[in-house]
Chain A
Amino acid sequence: MTISDDISSGWKSTDGKRPPVFLLASAAVVAIAALIPVAYLFARSINAGSDWIDIVWRPSTAAVFGRTFLLIAFVTVISVVVAVPLAWLTVRSNIPLRRVLSVASVLPLVMPSFVMATTVIEMYSPRGVLQGWLSGLGVERLPEIYGLGGATLVLVLMTYPYVLLTVRGALRRMDPALEEAARAMGYGPVHTFRVVTLPMLRPAIASGSLLVALYTLSDFGGVALLRYQTFTSTIMIQYESSIDRTLAAVLSLILVAIAVLLLLGEGFTRGRGAYHRSTVGAVRVSQRVDLGRWRWAGATAVGITVLIGLVIPVGVLIQWLVRGLLNDQELLPLLVPARNSLYISLLASVATVLAALPIAILVVRFQSRLSRFFERAIYIGFGLPGVVVALSLVFFGINVARPLYQSIWLLIFAFVVLFLPASVGALRSSLLQVNPRVEEAAQSLGRSQWKVIFSVTVPLVMPGALAGGAMVFLLTMKELPATLILSPIGYRTLSSSIWSAASEAFFAKTAAAALLLVLVAGVPTAYLTLRGHNDGSDQSDRIDEPDMESPSETVEVT
């Protein structure tokens, strides 16, 4: 028997239900932990005193600023231009091999940026493979690969899948009646696409673009190999080269500010229109447009993207591996880094999903001001580049949590903070499908709220937990800056050992490790993609690629 009291009305959810104390407590711990990096970074930068302003107004800071924005703009625009037609072709047209191409076009997602960068350099540099083929055709010399051009190419290849996935989700959910109404009013197909379809896709394009921009902002490996200096790579260089890390901390705060700006910008593009369907009831599936003779051209367009983004990079890696094995060249040791990578990624997945669970349950089942605050607190990780979280945790580890410093636990902690939004998003969409009456039924059968969560809620959100876990696993495998900064000395993972060989231009040595990484990261990606494509299952209508739909549900920072 409990005595009811209304003292803590702020804790009460909007439908009057009060969450169990253990749920609130664990969610509070997670939310506070997620806030540590930013809070600590602030504290550290304030200590810098007046140096602060000097650093911000330095001409070199402005130059880095300009370069970063230029890259973000290029990558975002080109990704959208590539991804929107691809999304339409793979969802709404009758191109041949549609299903295969549809999965394959997402798979460049598994390539870590530093691996993609090595293959791009090998392939497209003035002394690369392509030049070799083209010289027979009279092409004297390909343009320089290092710099803005190469960095843009690498990042576009890796990030267009974000826009592709969000736009595809929106196309699938769109009520076909809207387009049909326009057609019935006498608009032609092209005109209809422009005045109805495209505006409806705007939020999806915006949130996909946001992912692309944030990724570009936080990428380290790709831009560093292509010798294009952005904020993130500047911070890494500062961190590695100087004893005083105040500069790195201040630059990190600027990076956070840019991320926040991008987030706000995305919200701004949404405007005031409503984009969801205005009616309830089952969604009909749009008919696929018959492209006639043009369907082969459509398939070719998608195919070329897959070729450049997936087949060629993997092909280059395989060629390096074969050549290395034939010539008995030295390859990176695989066993220990692979084991470490797996271990860390599994730990990070489990820890992140466990941390996400109380937040997701609280947000879905007990909506209140407090639960909204928790949700926002954990979304901080979404905008934070890995390098920032890692740096802040270094300071935190040295000054506050000394026993954790130089242990893998600080690294795991960083991954949890970074990838919490992704797994909360997956869990939340899964939880939204669980009828709350089922939980009540369990409670009326004599189980306490606590036991209901474990005997009913958790088993029912298992698909979401698996999807979230798979997502975190993939992201952890690929992650570079946090891994470099926070790994204990001598602790090698696949990504850090590939990086150290690649940064010294021993590309061929990385082949086996890179292939392994792509393969291992490919498994969860294939799982996530196929889950979204499983048209027959009753879940797919409601949660198409739930982990990628909106920025509030996903994260990707490497």
Chain B
Amino acid sequence: MPWSKRPVDISIQPGVASSVAASGAVSNEAGVIELQGVECSYPGSDSPVISDFNLLVKPGEFVSILGRSGAGKTTALRVVAGFEKVSSGYVRVGGQLVGSSFVHVPPDQRRIGLVFQDYALFPHLTVAKNVEFGLKGLPAEERRERIAPVLKMVGMSGYESRYVHELSGGQQQRVAIARALSPNPVALLLDEPFSNLDRQLRAGLRRDIKRIVQETGATTLLVTHDREEALATSDRIAVMGDNSIEQIGTPEEVYQSPVSAAVAKLIGPCELIPGVFRGGVIVTEAGVFPTRLTTDIHMADGQQTLALMRASELEIELADEDDQRTATIEMTEFEGEFTEYSIRLDSGTLLRVRRRAVDEIGVGGRVTVHTRGDSKVIVFPV
């Protein structure tokens, strides 16, 4: 039986995890999407694209996988959708085992709504027919009844009889989302959904998607290399290193307490400078800063470490004659509310500091670097 035939509830009820509740397959405690120790590799290559990959997406949750290109994010998504087979580990969708070394449920039986990076709309069908595509098996009348609210939800009412090539990129994106949502999937997967759109369009569409997802209560997994996207949309972010997840948590958690230098670099612009750990502070070329640890690794006195320097957590002051650790202001960029200072340390390392330009520190000035207020510098073992 095509999964679209099952009882569905596309009516817009804020906050209700309709799909899972309707399918009745799992209790709310279990994950809608669950990957356990998953390994996936392409034939003819020895190294797996993803390995020991663990992820649990709860009902109604919006989770983003953030990683640089080539990390295996899209592969993880395709594993969930059923387009890649796993060589070990377990994949569960809606509480059902759909993928392991001995089980592979084909994509058409997984009830997953997938939005592709290039949308992959059917060029030979109209907007309405695209959205209707996943509703096969329902009576014609019911199909028609369900298209209208979905199109309305994505703001594409009135475009029913257009063909795909007659739509802008943003409109195609909306239709792709409508098409994925219309059969009321167990979960919605979004593969770099904004990468093909220009910048101005992105923010608006991002908010729209968040609203749509909240309205339908759909469990959503988004894959992106854009940290802004991940931070702005997600309930939780899973940061991917090379082929597995390094940290998972709320955007605030991950941003405030990255567990590794790699995660820190992915989650926000920063500089990592070497230093020596000494009794709760770190001694670096730029200055001596109070520290904080984000993992429970023991840090010994005199240990070589890396200090995470973020522009918004740093402050500068004009240096006195007798200051030892100073730097030179190389460039200032006025950004309206803030000014960004590029500061060259004597070793040649460049730091950035973001502050209100209240005093007259200009290019060429010698400054000392401090942490802002009582913020502490995160340190990682080398």
Interface residues of A (CB under 8 A from B): 1-4, 12, 14-16, 435, 437-438, 440-449, 452, 455-456, 459-460, 462
Interface residues of B (CB under 8 A from A): 2-4, 42-44, 81-85, 101-114, 116-118, 120-124, 133-134, 136-137, 179-180, 183
Min Cβ gap B196→A in Å is: 12
On whether A456 and B116 interact (CB within 8 A), knowing A440-B107, A446-B183, the answer reads no
Docked Cα-Cα span, A460 to B81, in Å, equals: 23
The reply to whether B106 and A448 contact each other, CB–CB distance below 8 Å, is yes
The reply to whether B85 and A16 contact each other, CB–CB distance below 8 Å, is yes
The reply to whether A4 and B85 contact each other, CB–CB distance below 8 Å, is yes
Chain A residue at minimum C-beta to C-beta distance from B176: A441
Min Cβ gap B156→A in Å is: 17
| In the complex, chain A residues whose CB is within 8 Å of the CB of B112 | 444
Give the most central of A435, A441, A452, A462: most B CB within 10 Å. Answer: A441
Chain B residue at minimum C-beta to C-beta distance from A452: B108
The reply to whether B3 and A438 contact each other, CB–CB distance below 8 Å, is no
Partner of A441, one of B42, B104, B116: B116
Partner of A444, one of B104, B114, B118, B124: B114
Min Cβ gap B134→A in Å is: 3
| In the complex, chain A residues whose CB is within 8 Å of the CB of B42 | 15-16
The reply to whether A447 and B122 contact each other, CB–CB distance below 8 Å, is no
The reply to whether B43 and A440 contact each other, CB–CB distance below 8 Å, is no
Kindly list the 3 A-B residue pairs having the minimum CB-CB distance in the complex, ordered from nearest.
A445-B134, A437-B120, A444-B114
Chain B residue at minimum C-beta to C-beta distance from A18: B85
Partner of B102, one of A3, A15, A443: A3
| In the complex, chain A residues whose CB is within 8 Å of the CB of B137 | 446
What are 16 A-to-B residue pairs whose CB atoms are below 8 Å? A3-B103, A15-B42, A16-B84, A435-B120, A440-B120, A442-B133, A444-B82, A444-B107, A444-B180, A445-B4, A445-B134, A449-B106, A452-B108, A455-B133, A456-B124, A460-B124
Min Cβ gap A13→B in Å is: 9
Min Cβ gap A399→B in Å is: 44
The reply to whether B114 and A440 contact each other, CB–CB distance below 8 Å, is yes
The reply to whether B3 and A12 contact each other, CB–CB distance below 8 Å, is no
The reply to whether B104 and A1 contact each other, CB–CB distance below 8 Å, is yes
Docked Cα-Cα span, A443 to B83, in Å, equals: 9
| In the complex, chain A residues whose CB is within 8 Å of the CB of B101 | 4
Min Cβ gap A439→B in Å is: 8
Docked Cα-Cα span, A459 to B104, in Å, equals: 29
Docked Cα-Cα span, A4 to B43, in Å, equals: 14
* Extra 11 A-B pairs, beta carbons < 8 Å, given A16-B84, A449-B106: A1-B103, A3-B102, A440-B81, A441-B116, A442-B133, A444-B81, A445-B134, A446-B136, A446-B183, A447-B2, A449-B108
On whether A438 and B123 interact (CB within 8 A), knowing A15-B43, A16-B85, A446-B2, the answer reads yes
Chain B residue at minimum C-beta to C-beta distance from A12: B43
Docked Cα-Cα span, A359 to B244, in Å, equals: 39
Chain B residue at minimum C-beta to C-beta distance from A435: B120
Docked Cα-Cα span, A446 to B2, in Å, equals: 6
Min Cβ gap B129→A in Å is: 10
Min Cβ gap B2→A in Å is: 5
The reply to whether B3 and A446 contact each other, CB–CB distance below 8 Å, is yes
| In the complex, chain B residues whose CB is within 8 Å of the CB of A459 | 124
Docked Cα-Cα span, A445 to B85, in Å, equals: 18
| In the complex, chain A residues whose CB is within 8 Å of the CB of B103 | 1, 3-4
On whether A438 and B43 interact (CB within 8 A), knowing A1-B103, A2-B104, A446-B3, the answer reads no
Partner of B116, one of A1, A440, A449: A440
Docked Cα-Cα span, A445 to B137, in Å, equals: 12
On whether A446 and B114 interact (CB within 8 A), knowing A16-B43, A456-B122, the answer reads no
The reply to whether B122 and A442 contact each other, CB–CB distance below 8 Å, is yes
Docked Cα-Cα span, A340 to B250, in Å, equals: 74
Give the most central of A443, A444, A446: most B CB within 10 Å. Answer: A444
On whether A443 and B122 interact (CB within 8 A), knowing A15-B42, A16-B43, A16-B85, the answer reads no
On whether A444 and B110 interact (CB within 8 A), knowing A435-B118, A435-B120, A456-B122, the answer reads yes
The reply to whether B179 and A445 contact each other, CB–CB distance below 8 Å, is yes
| In the complex, chain A residues whose CB is within 8 Å of the CB of B109 | 1, 446
| In the complex, chain A residues whose CB is within 8 Å of the CB of B2 | 446-447
| In the complex, chain B residues whose CB is within 8 Å of the CB of A440 | 81, 83, 107, 114, 116, 120
